[in-house]
Copies of this chain bind each other. A is one copy, B any other.
Amino acid sequence: MSASLSSPSNPWSVSDEAYSANDVEKNGNKFLIGNGYLGLRGTLEEHGPAELAACTISGLYDRDGDKWREPVNAPAAFGVKVSANGEACSTLTASIVSHRQWLELDKAVHYRQTRLRLSGGNEITLASSRFLSLENKHLGVLRFSVNTQEDCELLIETGIDGDIWDINGPHLKDFRAAQIEGMLTLDAQTGELAIPVTTAAVVHGEKLPAPEFAAGPQSVYHRYRLQARAGDTFTFTKYIGLHTGADTEAPAASAADTVTNAATTGYESLLESHVRCWEKRWRNSDVRIEGDEDAQLALRYSIYHLLIACPTDDRASIPARGLSGQVYKGAIFWDTEIFMLPFFDHTQPELARHLVNYRYHTLDGARRKAAEYGFRGAYYAWESQETGDDACTLFNITDVLTNRPMRTYFRDKQVHISADVALAVWRHATLTGDLDVLTDGGAEVILECARFFYSYAWYKPERDRYEILDVDGPDEYHERVNNNAFTSVMARATLDIALKAVELLERERPDFCAALIERLGFAEDLPRLADMRDKLFIPAPDARTRVIEQFSDYFKLEDSTPAALKERLLDPNEYWGGANGVATSTQVIKQADVVLMLHLFSGSYDAATKAANWDYYEPRTEHGSSLSPCVYALLAAELGRTEWAYKYFLRTATIDLTGKSKQFVGPLYIGGTHPAANGGAWMAAVLGFGGLRTGEGDVVCIAPRLPSAWTGLSFRFCRRGQWFTVSVTTDEISVSADPVNTAQQDFNLDGTPRSCSPGETVKAARKNLPER
């Protein structure tokens, strides 16, 4: 078939072999491509706003009226309309002979090939490939072809259209359309901050005639009329540039440059350098599983989603729904720090650094939020956008039973966010061994977060202890609780990190350290932090059961199960939390809370405690958040409960493949991709099954616990600038140090100590410990 642009037959491919109108919305997420700056939903070229076609811009936000503030979607430039003798050649109207849509994960290129039968019997084949350049984030490239089986008049229309899908839009206004020397441009600006957004496009196609030019109030088009003969294939390439005032001085000129340069370079060459960039990423980030093709594909697909969503500068981070649209206001949550950063820290430290720096970039927003609530230090936004001010509203959910906004306390009370941030900075610093992350803002972030917790906590003189009151933990179904174990442990860790960071900097960068403490007026706070660290109340495991109470009086709540509560629902989309949700007055929790704490602070708790808490909380967890199953997988793997771990791993890793995640909270659509679950899949595979532990000490531990089907697992990671490849088989653990490494690394391989010099491979036999 002449219109075929690529072969899908490789192990890096995700594909759909038939067209279903019901899957269009889901496929928009499943076949998403991205380059960290733009995310292009996996809709087809003939799809428009009704099919949720969108190209979302990272880090550019707008608020229309008093609606929710959300990311700006770019004018639609990847759309193509084809008609034959006046009849639309579209999956939306024509009968479909065959259809295939696929994604090549190794190069992040999206393909489609569709054979349509028109009313007169003629068959038209549409094919395309498209990618968002990883080399130049402002560039997108579309190659499109049309084949006709009969003589006909073909009309091909493609351009730039401001009529796009928005959840809380419109966000662009003051459109100006132009055509200059064959290049189409559409200038616009955002409504709230008047940030200019320019889209430019050029179409190259050998057999194409000169186009007609057409412009609407917010669109600009080229139309090609072709007298086609049976068997003809017309192929063209469209180079699309997008620049905004948020990242370019002169976006109009830059967009024109991007497009002109790309057209000069040409499709093949652009694709080649794009693929080279992707090869570089995959080299360090890929994880190989032997013996389980489904798991392999799901994990790779998860990693793909992490890589396409990660920005390459400090002004943005990865939103909770990646770049798959405007859901969750395109905001950055704790998802990034706790669920995604471990992947980037271990396999893409340079990208990780951007994510870490984003929190320094938004530190002033966090300071404003702390001050707004009457606290000192930095209280990070629960839903962070470009400034760090909180996009989270006080009424974040609408009650489906009354259609009234429901007061939630995510914004006010989910204080652990500041600990998540501080922890992530410190983890990045210790894992990379690069003190610059601290001196470039990281230390300031940590100190301000610690200061926040000191200012948030309360002291009870008669008990000589501090407590952290009135918080939401990760389990959002129980709001405004006291002494949430997760939050308190995280807060104490933040205090501890702050004190350790100061100690480290005083030793290594004394001038910087003194200046920072002086500038922040922090001298008085240091002894306060130490006092609170030593006297902060942390819920301890019960002496008999070893179960840790999730928060004060949690055990007094009605004991129940998710299945039992489901029976109580009056509406299937009803929110389980809030003041009167079915879970609120029970022990049923939304997601891993104590169990997440036990994973993050694994070294502080013994295996029996972990097992007891896993046993207690697992049947009480609804997994109402996609962040939950991976945590149960992680701890289960650590306990050697590999079958449980595998079940939760698969659930996590396939979330965006199956599209079977929660689509609604109340009447609110929450669809999109799930980068935190994707990060959780990597964690479950590498930290869980692979048993990798790169803590603060000098020795890296690897204690694998493979699922029964897996005959091998291999992955790479970086620590203090040294790269290692780990291969686990059923019998053996092998670690190879890259030849370019500069330092030796000590390992503990399932209990066996090994030291690995640059270029060396060390091995140890696996010990297959029983499960707990």
Alpha-carbon gap, A404 to B582, bound state (A):
9
Q: Is A62 an interface residue (CB 8 A)?
A: no
Q: Is A507 an interface residue (CB 8 A)?
A: no
- Contact indicator A580/B458 (Cβ below 8 Å): no
Alpha-carbon gap, A617 to B376, bound state (A):
32
Alpha-carbon gap, A395 to B552, bound state (A):
19
Residues of B within 8 A of A469 (CB): 458, 469-470
Q: How far is the CB of A467 from chain B (nearest CB, A)?
A: 8
Alpha-carbon gap, A376 to B461, bound state (A):
13
Residues of B within 8 A of A476 (CB): none
Q: Is A407 an interface residue (CB 8 A)?
A: yes
Residues of B within 8 A of A520 (CB): none
Alpha-carbon gap, A585 to B458, bound state (A):
26
Q: Is A280 an interface residue (CB 8 A)?
A: no
Alpha-carbon gap, A480 to B394, bound state (A):
16
Q: Is A717 an interface residue (CB 8 A)?
A: no
- Contact indicator B579/A407 (Cβ below 8 Å): yes
Q: How far is the CB of A570 from chain B (nearest CB, A)?
A: 6
Query: Chain B: which residue is nearest A454 at the CB level?
Result: B462
Query: Chain B: which residue is nearest A455 at the CB level?
Result: B462
Alpha-carbon gap, A621 to B395, bound state (A):
24
Q: How far is the CB of A767 from chain B (nearest CB, A)?
A: 45
Alpha-carbon gap, A604 to B460, bound state (A):
29
Query: Chain B: which residue is nearest A582 at the CB level?
Result: B404
Q: How far is the CB of A566 from chain B (nearest CB, A)?
A: 15
Query: Chain B: which residue is nearest A451 at the CB level?
Result: B462
Q: Is A584 an interface residue (CB 8 A)?
A: yes
Alpha-carbon gap, A376 to B407, bound state (A):
33
Alpha-carbon gap, A578 to B579, bound state (A):
8
- Contact indicator B459/A407 (Cβ below 8 Å): no
- Contact indicator A402/B528 (Cβ below 8 Å): no
Q: Is A253 an interface residue (CB 8 A)?
A: no
Q: How far is the CB of A672 from chain B (nearest CB, A)?
A: 27
Within 8 A of B (CB), among A608-641: none
- Contact indicator B459/A580 (Cβ below 8 Å): no
Quickly give the copy total for this chain.
2
Pick from B374, B394, B580: contact of A399, CB below 8 A.
Answer: B580
- Contact indicator B461/A585 (Cβ below 8 Å): no
- Contact indicator A584/B528 (Cβ below 8 Å): no
Pick from B454, B480, B580: contact of A402, CB below 8 A.
Answer: B580
Most chain B CB atoms below 10 A, which of A404, A455, A461, A570: A461
Q: How far is the CB of A554 from chain B (nearest CB, A)?
A: 14
Alpha-carbon gap, A467 to B401, bound state (A):
37
Alpha-carbon gap, A394 to B584, bound state (A):
13
Q: How far is the CB of A130 from chain B (nearest CB, A)?
A: 46
Pick from B461, B467, B480, B570: contact of A528, CB below 8 A.
Answer: B461
Within 8 A of B (CB), among A426-475: 454-455, 458-462, 467, 469-470
Query: Chain B: which residue is nearest A579 at the CB level?
Result: B579
- Contact indicator B460/A402 (Cβ below 8 Å): no
Query: Chain B: which residue is nearest A482 at the CB level?
Result: B470
- Contact indicator A462/B528 (Cβ below 8 Å): yes
Q: Is A406 an interface residue (CB 8 A)?
A: yes
Q: A460-502 interface mask toward B, CB cutoff 8 Å, 1 = contact, 0 = none?
A: 1110000101100000000010000000000000000000000
Residues of B within 8 A of A552 (CB): 374
Residues of B within 8 A of A406 (CB): 579-580
Q: A359-388 interface mask toward B, CB cutoff 8 Å, 1 = contact, 0 = none?
A: 000000000000000101000000000000
- Contact indicator B584/A407 (Cβ below 8 Å): yes
Q: How far is the CB of A473 from chain B (nearest CB, A)?
A: 17
Q: How far is the CB of A376 from chain B (nearest CB, A)?
A: 8
Alpha-carbon gap, A461 to B460, bound state (A):
10
Q: How far is the CB of A399 from chain B (nearest CB, A)?
A: 7
Residues of B within 8 A of A584 (CB): 407
Alpha-carbon gap, A18 to B682, bound state (A):
82
Q: How far is the CB of A564 from chain B (nearest CB, A)?
A: 15
Residues of B within 8 A of A374 (CB): 552
Alpha-carbon gap, A406 to B454, bound state (A):
34
Q: Could you name 27 residue pairs across A and B whose Cβ atoms are closer than 8 Å?
A: A374-B552, A394-B585, A395-B585, A399-B580, A402-B570, A402-B580, A406-B579, A406-B580, A407-B579, A407-B580, A407-B584, A407-B585, A454-B462, A455-B462, A458-B458, A458-B460, A458-B467, A459-B460, A461-B528, A469-B469, A469-B470, A470-B470, A480-B480, A578-B580, A579-B579, A579-B580, A580-B580
Ranked 7 nearest A-B pairs via Cβ: A579-B579, A458-B458, A459-B459, A401-B402, A459-B461, A406-B580, A404-B580
* Extra inter-chain contacts (8) besides given A459-B460, A469-B470, CB under 8 Å: A376-B462, A402-B570, A402-B580, A406-B580, A407-B585, A458-B460, A578-B579, A578-B580
Q: Which A residues lie at the B interface, using CB under 8 A?
A: 374, 376, 394-395, 399, 401-402, 404, 406-407, 454-455, 458-462, 467, 469-470, 480, 528, 552, 570, 578-580, 584-585
